[in-house]
Amino acid sequence: MDLSTYFPVWKALTLEQQELLTRSAVNRTAPKGTIVHRGSADCVGLLLIRSGQLRVFYTSEDGREVTLYRLFEHDVCLFSASCTMRSIQFDTTVEAEKDTDFWVIPPAVFKQLMEQSLPVANYVNELLASHFSDAMWLIEQIMWKSFDKRLASFLLEESALEESLVLKITHEKIANHMGSAREVVTRMLRYFQSENLVKLSRGSIEIVDEKRLRALQ
Amino acid sequence: MDLSTYFPVWKALTLEQQELLTRSAVNRTAPKGTIVHRGSADCVGLLLIRSGQLRVFYTSEDGREVTLYRLFEHDVCLFSASCTMRSIQFDTTVEAEKDTDFWVIPPAVFKQLMEQSLPVANYVNELLASHFSDAMWLIEQIMWKSFDKRLASFLLEESALEESLVLKITHEKIANHMGSAREVVTRMLRYFQSENLVKLSRGSIEIVDEKRLRALQ
Protein backbone atom coordinates (compact mmCIF):
# COMPACT_ATOMS: atom_id res chain seq x y z
CA MET A 1 0.00 0.00 0.00
CA ASP A 2 1.57 3.25 -1.17
CA LEU A 3 -0.85 5.57 0.63
CA SER A 4 2.01 6.97 2.72
CA THR A 5 3.71 8.44 -0.36
CA TYR A 6 0.53 10.25 -1.46
CA PHE A 7 -0.75 11.65 1.84
CA PRO A 8 1.08 15.00 2.10
CA VAL A 9 1.99 15.10 5.80
CA TRP A 10 2.09 11.34 6.49
CA LYS A 11 5.25 11.48 8.58
CA ALA A 12 3.76 14.12 10.85
CA LEU A 13 0.80 11.89 11.75
CA THR A 14 0.62 9.71 14.83
CA LEU A 15 0.67 5.94 14.41
CA GLU A 16 -3.06 5.84 15.23
CA GLN A 17 -3.81 8.42 12.56
CA GLN A 18 -1.74 6.52 9.99
CA GLU A 19 -3.63 3.33 10.87
CA LEU A 20 -6.97 5.12 10.60
CA LEU A 21 -6.03 6.29 7.10
CA THR A 22 -4.77 2.88 6.05
CA ARG A 23 -8.01 1.26 7.23
CA SER A 24 -10.35 3.78 5.63
CA ALA A 25 -8.71 4.81 2.34
CA VAL A 26 -10.19 3.26 -0.78
CA ASN A 27 -8.45 2.94 -4.12
CA ARG A 28 -10.53 4.00 -7.12
CA THR A 29 -10.10 4.37 -10.86
CA ALA A 30 -12.11 6.82 -12.94
CA PRO A 31 -12.02 6.43 -16.73
CA LYS A 32 -11.56 9.60 -18.80
CA GLY A 33 -14.77 11.63 -18.87
CA THR A 34 -16.09 10.43 -15.49
CA ILE A 35 -17.59 13.05 -13.18
CA VAL A 36 -15.88 12.19 -9.90
CA HIS A 37 -17.57 14.80 -7.72
CA ARG A 38 -20.63 16.95 -8.47
CA GLY A 39 -21.10 20.12 -6.40
CA SER A 40 -22.93 20.14 -3.11
CA ALA A 41 -24.92 17.07 -4.14
CA ASP A 42 -21.80 15.00 -3.47
CA CYS A 43 -19.21 14.64 -0.77
CA VAL A 44 -16.82 12.02 -2.05
CA GLY A 45 -13.93 12.86 0.25
CA LEU A 46 -10.31 13.90 -0.06
CA LEU A 47 -8.71 12.51 -3.22
CA LEU A 48 -4.99 11.69 -3.45
CA ILE A 49 -4.05 11.33 -7.10
CA ARG A 50 -1.79 8.42 -8.04
CA SER A 51 -1.91 9.00 -11.80
CA GLY A 52 -4.01 10.76 -14.42
CA GLN A 53 -5.55 14.23 -14.56
CA LEU A 54 -8.54 15.86 -12.89
CA ARG A 55 -10.23 19.12 -13.83
CA VAL A 56 -11.85 21.13 -11.05
CA PHE A 57 -14.42 23.60 -12.29
CA TYR A 58 -16.82 26.06 -10.77
CA THR A 59 -20.45 25.67 -11.71
CA SER A 60 -22.97 28.50 -11.50
CA GLU A 61 -26.56 27.98 -10.41
CA ASP A 62 -27.72 28.11 -14.02
CA GLY A 63 -25.22 25.49 -15.16
CA ARG A 64 -22.39 27.57 -16.62
CA GLU A 65 -18.87 26.49 -15.84
CA VAL A 66 -15.29 27.75 -15.74
CA THR A 67 -12.12 25.75 -15.09
CA LEU A 68 -10.38 26.63 -11.80
CA TYR A 69 -7.37 24.32 -11.98
CA ARG A 70 -6.11 20.87 -12.93
CA LEU A 71 -4.72 18.22 -10.61
CA PHE A 72 -2.02 15.70 -11.44
CA GLU A 73 -0.04 12.90 -9.81
CA HIS A 74 0.66 13.57 -6.10
CA ASP A 75 -1.87 16.43 -6.00
CA VAL A 76 -4.69 16.45 -3.47
CA CYS A 77 -8.30 17.25 -4.37
CA LEU A 78 -9.81 19.21 -1.49
CA PHE A 79 -13.12 20.47 -2.86
CA SER A 80 -14.46 16.94 -3.27
CA ALA A 81 -14.49 17.02 0.54
CA SER A 82 -15.89 20.55 0.79
CA CYS A 83 -18.83 19.36 2.93
CA THR A 84 -16.32 19.10 5.78
CA MET A 85 -15.72 22.88 5.73
CA ARG A 86 -18.84 24.87 6.37
CA SER A 87 -17.45 28.15 5.00
CA ILE A 88 -17.05 26.79 1.46
CA GLN A 89 -20.22 28.27 0.00
CA PHE A 90 -19.84 27.42 -3.67
CA ASP A 91 -20.09 24.36 -5.87
CA THR A 92 -17.29 22.74 -7.78
CA THR A 93 -17.37 19.72 -10.05
CA VAL A 94 -14.42 17.37 -10.53
CA GLU A 95 -14.00 15.51 -13.81
CA ALA A 96 -11.39 12.96 -14.90
CA GLU A 97 -9.77 14.40 -18.04
CA LYS A 98 -7.61 11.30 -18.40
CA ASP A 99 -7.99 7.83 -16.89
CA THR A 100 -7.27 8.63 -13.26
CA ASP A 101 -6.28 6.48 -10.33
CA PHE A 102 -6.61 7.83 -6.80
CA TRP A 103 -7.04 7.16 -3.11
CA VAL A 104 -10.28 8.33 -1.51
CA ILE A 105 -10.19 9.44 2.14
CA PRO A 106 -13.80 9.45 3.41
CA PRO A 107 -15.06 12.92 4.51
CA ALA A 108 -15.60 11.90 8.15
CA VAL A 109 -12.02 10.60 8.41
CA PHE A 110 -10.60 13.73 6.80
CA LYS A 111 -12.67 15.92 9.13
CA GLN A 112 -11.44 14.00 12.16
CA LEU A 113 -7.81 14.42 11.06
CA MET A 114 -8.28 18.16 10.50
CA GLU A 115 -9.71 18.48 14.00
CA GLN A 116 -6.94 16.41 15.59
CA SER A 117 -3.79 17.12 13.66
CA LEU A 118 -2.07 20.50 13.48
CA PRO A 119 0.09 19.44 10.50
CA VAL A 120 -3.06 18.41 8.57
CA ALA A 121 -4.85 21.67 9.45
CA ASN A 122 -1.85 23.69 8.34
CA TYR A 123 -1.48 21.67 5.16
CA VAL A 124 -5.13 22.41 4.31
CA ASN A 125 -4.43 26.09 5.01
CA GLU A 126 -1.62 26.17 2.48
CA LEU A 127 -3.68 24.20 -0.05
CA LEU A 128 -6.61 26.61 0.30
CA ALA A 129 -4.27 29.60 0.00
CA SER A 130 -2.73 28.11 -3.11
CA HIS A 131 -6.11 27.54 -4.80
CA PHE A 132 -7.15 31.01 -3.66
CA SER A 133 -4.16 32.31 -5.61
CA ASP A 134 -5.40 30.36 -8.67
CA ALA A 135 -8.82 32.01 -8.29
CA MET A 136 -7.26 35.48 -8.04
CA TRP A 137 -5.24 34.76 -11.18
CA LEU A 138 -8.50 33.84 -12.90
CA ILE A 139 -10.14 37.07 -11.70
CA GLU A 140 -7.23 39.06 -13.11
CA GLN A 141 -7.53 37.22 -16.45
CA ILE A 142 -11.26 37.66 -16.90
CA MET A 143 -11.35 41.25 -15.69
CA TRP A 144 -8.43 42.76 -17.48
CA LYS A 145 -7.20 40.46 -20.25
CA SER A 146 -8.89 40.46 -23.64
CA PHE A 147 -10.45 37.27 -24.93
CA ASP A 148 -7.93 36.71 -27.75
CA LYS A 149 -5.06 36.69 -25.22
CA ARG A 150 -6.93 34.33 -22.90
CA LEU A 151 -7.73 31.97 -25.78
CA ALA A 152 -4.10 32.00 -26.96
CA SER A 153 -2.98 31.10 -23.41
CA PHE A 154 -5.58 28.35 -23.18
CA LEU A 155 -4.51 26.73 -26.48
CA LEU A 156 -0.84 26.82 -25.49
CA GLU A 157 -1.59 25.34 -22.07
CA GLU A 158 -3.65 22.55 -23.62
CA SER A 159 -0.88 21.89 -26.10
CA ALA A 160 1.65 21.58 -23.28
CA LEU A 161 -0.63 19.26 -21.29
CA GLU A 162 -1.31 17.02 -24.31
CA GLU A 163 2.26 17.30 -25.60
CA SER A 164 0.88 17.88 -29.07
CA LEU A 165 0.24 20.78 -31.46
CA VAL A 166 -2.98 19.11 -32.56
CA LEU A 167 -5.70 19.52 -29.96
CA LYS A 168 -8.69 17.19 -30.11
CA ILE A 169 -11.18 19.44 -28.38
CA THR A 170 -14.53 20.92 -29.36
CA HIS A 171 -15.31 24.65 -29.32
CA GLU A 172 -18.04 23.86 -26.78
CA LYS A 173 -15.47 22.34 -24.41
CA ILE A 174 -13.16 25.33 -24.75
CA ALA A 175 -16.11 27.61 -23.97
CA ASN A 176 -16.81 25.59 -20.79
CA HIS A 177 -13.18 25.82 -19.71
CA MET A 178 -13.14 29.56 -20.21
CA GLY A 179 -16.59 30.38 -18.90
CA SER A 180 -17.56 31.72 -22.32
CA ALA A 181 -20.07 30.84 -25.07
CA ARG A 182 -19.37 28.48 -27.97
CA GLU A 183 -20.06 31.16 -30.61
CA VAL A 184 -17.54 33.51 -29.04
CA VAL A 185 -14.87 30.79 -29.11
CA THR A 186 -15.68 29.83 -32.72
CA ARG A 187 -15.51 33.44 -33.86
CA MET A 188 -12.11 33.99 -32.25
CA LEU A 189 -10.73 30.68 -33.55
CA ARG A 190 -11.80 31.65 -37.09
CA TYR A 191 -10.01 34.93 -36.65
CA PHE A 192 -6.89 33.03 -35.45
CA GLN A 193 -7.19 30.86 -38.57
CA SER A 194 -7.44 33.88 -40.84
CA GLU A 195 -4.23 35.13 -39.20
CA ASN A 196 -2.56 31.73 -39.85
CA LEU A 197 -2.09 31.01 -36.16
CA VAL A 198 -4.18 27.83 -36.14
CA LYS A 199 -5.77 25.46 -38.62
CA LEU A 200 -9.30 24.26 -37.84
CA SER A 201 -10.75 20.96 -38.89
CA ARG A 202 -13.63 18.82 -37.68
CA GLY A 203 -13.02 18.00 -34.02
CA SER A 204 -9.49 19.37 -33.84
CA ILE A 205 -7.43 22.54 -33.75
CA GLU A 206 -3.86 22.57 -35.00
CA ILE A 207 -1.45 25.19 -33.75
CA VAL A 208 0.52 26.23 -36.85
CA ASP A 209 2.39 29.25 -35.51
CA GLU A 210 3.22 28.63 -31.86
CA LYS A 211 5.67 31.52 -31.71
CA ARG A 212 3.14 34.16 -32.77
CA LEU A 213 0.46 32.59 -30.60
CA ARG A 214 2.86 32.89 -27.66
CA ALA A 215 3.58 36.52 -28.49
CA LEU A 216 -0.15 37.25 -28.59
CA GLN A 217 -0.74 36.21 -24.93
CA MET B 1 -8.02 45.41 27.58
CA ASP B 2 -10.80 43.93 25.44
CA LEU B 3 -8.55 41.86 23.16
CA SER B 4 -10.20 38.66 24.39
CA THR B 5 -13.55 39.66 22.91
CA TYR B 6 -12.03 40.32 19.46
CA PHE B 7 -9.70 37.36 19.05
CA PRO B 8 -11.98 34.70 17.56
CA VAL B 9 -10.87 31.55 19.41
CA TRP B 10 -9.57 33.21 22.59
CA LYS B 11 -11.11 30.65 24.95
CA ALA B 12 -9.47 27.79 23.07
CA LEU B 13 -5.99 29.24 23.65
CA THR B 14 -3.67 28.23 26.45
CA LEU B 15 -2.88 30.73 29.18
CA GLU B 16 0.61 31.18 27.69
CA GLN B 17 -0.85 31.93 24.28
CA GLN B 18 -3.32 34.43 25.77
CA GLU B 19 -0.47 36.14 27.57
CA LEU B 20 1.62 36.23 24.40
CA LEU B 21 -1.26 37.95 22.59
CA THR B 22 -1.87 40.39 25.41
CA ARG B 23 1.83 41.32 25.48
CA SER B 24 2.22 41.73 21.72
CA ALA B 25 -1.07 43.18 20.46
CA VAL B 26 -1.03 46.87 19.63
CA ASN B 27 -4.05 49.13 19.41
CA ARG B 28 -4.18 51.38 16.33
CA THR B 29 -6.54 53.88 14.78
CA ALA B 30 -6.64 54.61 11.05
CA PRO B 31 -8.55 57.70 9.90
CA LYS B 32 -10.83 57.28 6.88
CA GLY B 33 -8.81 57.01 3.68
CA THR B 34 -5.68 55.52 5.28
CA ILE B 35 -3.99 52.66 3.44
CA VAL B 36 -3.48 50.19 6.29
CA HIS B 37 -1.72 47.48 4.31
CA ARG B 38 -0.18 47.61 0.83
CA GLY B 39 0.37 44.30 -1.01
CA SER B 40 3.55 42.31 -0.64
CA ALA B 41 5.48 45.45 0.28
CA ASP B 42 3.85 45.28 3.71
CA CYS B 43 3.21 42.71 6.37
CA VAL B 44 1.33 44.56 9.08
CA GLY B 45 -0.10 41.51 10.82
CA LEU B 46 -3.49 40.14 11.75
CA LEU B 47 -6.02 42.92 12.35
CA LEU B 48 -8.94 42.55 14.77
CA ILE B 49 -11.48 45.27 14.05
CA ARG B 50 -13.00 47.07 17.05
CA SER B 51 -14.98 49.62 15.04
CA GLY B 52 -15.06 51.15 11.57
CA GLN B 53 -14.86 49.67 8.09
CA LEU B 54 -12.00 48.28 6.01
CA ARG B 55 -12.02 47.57 2.28
CA VAL B 56 -9.82 44.71 1.04
CA PHE B 57 -9.04 44.92 -2.65
CA TYR B 58 -7.00 42.99 -5.13
CA THR B 59 -4.39 44.93 -7.06
CA SER B 60 -3.01 43.82 -10.41
CA GLU B 61 0.62 44.27 -11.40
CA ASP B 62 -0.30 47.26 -13.53
CA GLY B 63 -2.20 48.96 -10.73
CA ARG B 64 -5.84 48.09 -11.45
CA GLU B 65 -8.02 47.17 -8.53
CA VAL B 66 -11.24 45.38 -7.63
CA THR B 67 -12.93 45.16 -4.24
CA LEU B 68 -12.91 41.67 -2.72
CA TYR B 69 -14.82 42.30 0.49
CA ARG B 70 -15.40 44.70 3.39
CA LEU B 71 -14.61 44.10 7.05
CA PHE B 72 -16.55 45.45 10.02
CA GLU B 73 -16.54 45.29 13.82
CA HIS B 74 -15.41 41.89 15.14
CA ASP B 75 -14.09 40.85 11.71
CA VAL B 76 -10.51 39.70 11.28
CA CYS B 77 -8.24 40.91 8.47
CA LEU B 78 -6.08 37.98 7.37
CA PHE B 79 -4.43 39.19 4.18
CA SER B 80 -2.58 41.95 6.02
CA ALA B 81 -0.64 39.01 7.49
CA SER B 82 -0.33 37.15 4.18
CA CYS B 83 3.47 37.02 4.46
CA THR B 84 2.96 34.31 7.08
CA MET B 85 1.41 31.98 4.49
CA ARG B 86 3.74 31.18 1.65
CA SER B 87 0.99 29.93 -0.71
CA ILE B 88 -0.74 33.30 -0.91
CA GLN B 89 0.68 34.44 -4.22
CA PHE B 90 -1.26 37.62 -4.83
CA ASP B 91 -1.36 41.15 -3.52
CA THR B 92 -4.16 42.79 -1.63
CA THR B 93 -4.42 46.30 -0.28
CA VAL B 94 -6.42 47.24 2.82
CA GLU B 95 -7.93 50.71 3.12
CA ALA B 96 -9.91 52.30 5.95
CA GLU B 97 -13.23 53.38 4.43
CA LYS B 98 -14.32 54.89 7.74
CA ASP B 99 -12.30 55.87 10.81
CA THR B 100 -11.24 52.43 12.00
CA ASP B 101 -9.96 51.20 15.34
CA PHE B 102 -8.27 47.81 15.55
CA TRP B 103 -5.86 45.52 17.34
CA VAL B 104 -2.73 44.50 15.43
CA ILE B 105 -1.24 41.04 16.09
CA PRO B 106 2.34 41.07 14.75
CA PRO B 107 2.98 38.56 11.92
CA ALA B 108 5.55 36.53 13.88
CA VAL B 109 3.13 36.10 16.80
CA PHE B 110 0.29 35.09 14.49
CA LYS B 111 2.55 32.60 12.70
CA GLN B 112 3.63 31.09 15.99
CA LEU B 113 0.00 30.66 17.08
CA MET B 114 -0.94 29.02 13.76
CA GLU B 115 1.90 26.58 14.19
CA GLN B 116 1.04 25.81 17.82
CA SER B 117 -2.71 26.00 18.10
CA LEU B 118 -5.13 23.69 16.31
CA PRO B 119 -8.11 25.99 17.01
CA VAL B 120 -6.23 28.92 15.45
CA ALA B 121 -5.22 26.84 12.40
CA ASN B 122 -8.80 25.65 11.92
CA TYR B 123 -10.15 29.17 12.38
CA VAL B 124 -7.82 30.40 9.63
CA ASN B 125 -9.04 27.52 7.45
CA GLU B 126 -12.64 28.62 7.81
CA LEU B 127 -11.72 32.27 7.24
CA LEU B 128 -9.81 31.41 4.07
CA ALA B 129 -12.70 29.23 2.86
CA SER B 130 -15.13 32.05 3.53
CA HIS B 131 -13.08 34.61 1.57
CA PHE B 132 -12.60 32.00 -1.15
CA SER B 133 -16.39 31.90 -1.40
CA ASP B 134 -16.40 35.71 -1.77
CA ALA B 135 -13.88 35.40 -4.61
CA MET B 136 -15.99 32.75 -6.37
CA TRP B 137 -19.03 35.00 -6.06
CA LEU B 138 -16.99 37.76 -7.70
CA ILE B 139 -15.94 35.40 -10.51
CA GLU B 140 -19.57 34.51 -11.12
CA GLN B 141 -20.52 38.20 -11.21
CA ILE B 142 -17.84 39.32 -13.63
CA MET B 143 -18.14 36.32 -15.93
CA TRP B 144 -21.86 35.99 -16.30
CA LYS B 145 -23.62 39.08 -15.05
CA SER B 146 -23.98 42.13 -17.26
CA PHE B 147 -22.49 45.44 -16.14
CA ASP B 148 -25.85 47.18 -15.57
CA LYS B 149 -26.89 44.48 -13.07
CA ARG B 150 -23.53 44.63 -11.29
CA LEU B 151 -23.69 48.42 -11.05
CA ALA B 152 -27.27 48.28 -9.71
CA SER B 153 -26.11 45.80 -7.03
CA PHE B 154 -23.14 47.96 -6.15
CA LEU B 155 -25.25 51.13 -5.70
CA LEU B 156 -27.77 49.29 -3.51
CA GLU B 157 -24.99 47.76 -1.39
CA GLU B 158 -23.35 51.16 -0.92
CA SER B 159 -26.71 52.66 -0.01
CA ALA B 160 -27.23 49.97 2.64
CA LEU B 161 -23.69 50.48 4.04
CA GLU B 162 -24.11 54.26 4.19
CA GLU B 163 -27.75 54.07 5.29
CA SER B 164 -28.56 56.76 2.75
CA LEU B 165 -30.07 57.04 -0.73
CA VAL B 166 -27.54 59.77 -1.54
CA LEU B 167 -24.09 58.32 -2.21
CA LYS B 168 -21.10 60.63 -1.96
CA ILE B 169 -18.80 58.71 -4.27
CA THR B 170 -16.96 59.52 -7.49
CA HIS B 171 -17.32 57.54 -10.71
CA GLU B 172 -13.60 56.83 -10.46
CA LYS B 173 -14.05 55.19 -7.07
CA ILE B 174 -16.92 53.05 -8.30
CA ALA B 175 -14.74 51.95 -11.22
CA ASN B 176 -12.00 50.92 -8.78
CA HIS B 177 -14.46 48.93 -6.69
CA MET B 178 -15.77 47.10 -9.72
CA GLY B 179 -12.49 46.61 -11.58
CA SER B 180 -13.82 48.70 -14.45
CA ALA B 181 -12.96 52.00 -16.16
CA ARG B 182 -14.38 55.40 -15.17
CA GLU B 183 -15.88 56.03 -18.62
CA VAL B 184 -17.79 52.75 -18.49
CA VAL B 185 -19.26 53.66 -15.10
CA THR B 186 -20.17 57.19 -16.22
CA ARG B 187 -21.87 55.90 -19.36
CA MET B 188 -23.99 53.40 -17.42
CA LEU B 189 -24.87 55.94 -14.70
CA ARG B 190 -26.06 58.37 -17.40
CA TYR B 191 -28.20 55.59 -18.84
CA PHE B 192 -29.61 54.94 -15.32
CA GLN B 193 -30.36 58.66 -15.06
CA SER B 194 -32.15 58.68 -18.42
CA GLU B 195 -34.25 55.80 -17.09
CA ASN B 196 -35.04 57.81 -13.91
CA LEU B 197 -33.33 55.30 -11.64
CA VAL B 198 -30.76 57.72 -10.24
CA LYS B 199 -30.07 61.44 -10.24
CA LEU B 200 -26.48 62.54 -10.80
CA SER B 201 -24.93 65.67 -9.43
CA ARG B 202 -21.41 66.83 -8.74
CA GLY B 203 -19.77 64.33 -6.37
CA SER B 204 -22.95 62.41 -5.56
CA ILE B 205 -25.44 59.92 -6.90
CA GLU B 206 -29.00 59.86 -5.61
CA ILE B 207 -31.06 56.69 -5.90
CA VAL B 208 -34.52 57.90 -6.92
CA ASP B 209 -36.20 54.59 -7.76
CA GLU B 210 -34.84 51.94 -5.40
CA LYS B 211 -37.55 49.44 -6.30
CA ARG B 212 -36.76 49.41 -10.03
CA LEU B 213 -33.00 49.42 -9.31
CA ARG B 214 -33.54 46.35 -7.15
CA ALA B 215 -35.54 44.65 -9.89
CA LEU B 216 -32.75 45.34 -12.38
CA GLN B 217 -30.11 43.34 -10.41
The stretch A164-186 carries a mean pLDDT of 94
Per-residue pLDDT band for B1 (boundaries 50, 70, 90) equals low
Give yes or no for A27 touching B (CB within 8 A). Answer: no
Please give the full DSSP string across B10-72, using - where no structure is assigned. Answer: GGGS-HHHHHHHHHH-EEEEE-TT-EEEEGGG----EEEEEES-EEEEEE-TTS-EEEEEEE-
Q: Please report residues of B whose CB lies closer than 8 A to that of A135.
A: 132, 135-136, 139
A/B interface, count of CB pairs below 8 Å = 112
pLDDT number for residue A39: 87
| % of residues, chain B, pLDDT over 70 | 100
Tell whether the torsion through CA atoms of B16, B19, B24 and B25 is positive or negative.
Answer: positive
Which residue has better confidence, B82 or A40?
B82
pLDDT number for residue A1: 67
Q: Please report residues of A whose CB lies closer than 8 A to that of B147.
A: none
Model confidence pLDDT, tens digit, residues A25-57: 999 999 999 999 998 888 999 999 999 999 999
How many angstroms separate the CA atoms of A8 and A107, rounded? 16
- Which residue in A58, A116, A125 is closest to B125 by CB distance? A125
Q: Give the closest-approach CA distance of A112 to chain B in angstroms.
A: 12
Q: Please report residues of A whose CB lies closer than 8 A to that of B121.
A: 118, 121-122, 125
Residue B61's φ and ψ, nearest 5 degrees, are -60, -35
User: At residue A64, does pLDDT exceed 90?
Assistant: no
Model confidence pLDDT, tens digit, residues B142-170: 888 899 999 999 999 999 999 999 999 99
Per-residue pLDDT band for B126 (boundaries 50, 70, 90) equals very high
Closest chain A residue to B118, measured at CA: A118
H/E stretch holding A37:
strand A35-38
Q: Give the closest-approach CA distance of A129 to chain B in angstroms.
A: 5
* CA-to-CA separations, B15 to A98, A122, B4, B20, B129, in angstroms, rounded: 52, 22, 12, 9, 28
Query: Count of H helices and E strands in chain A?
Result: 8, 11
* CA-to-CA separations, B125 to A74, A112, B130, in angstroms, rounded: 22, 15, 9
Give yes or no for A9 touching B (CB within 8 A). Answer: no
pLDDT number for residue A62: 79
If contacts are CB pairs under 8 Å, which of residues 57-86 in chain A contact chain B?
Answer: 58, 60, 62, 64, 66, 85-86
Model confidence pLDDT, tens digit, residues B42-60: 899 999 999 999 999 998 8
Q: Give the closest-approach CA distance of B211 to chain A in angstroms.
A: 24
Give yes or no for B179 touching A (CB within 8 A). Answer: yes
pLDDT number for residue B49: 98
pLDDT number for residue B60: 84
The stretch A60-65 carries a mean pLDDT of 84
CB contact under 8 A, A128 and B130: no
pTM of the model: 0.89
How many angstroms separate the CA atoms of B210 and A122, rounded? 46
Give yes or no for A179 touching B (CB within 8 A). Answer: yes
pLDDT number for residue B124: 97
User: At residue A100, does pLDDT exceed 80?
Assistant: yes
Task: Supply the mean pLDDT for chain A.
Answer: 94
Interface test with A, best of B9, B113, B128 (most A CBs within 10 A): B128
Helix (H, G, I), strand (E, B) or coil at B85: coil
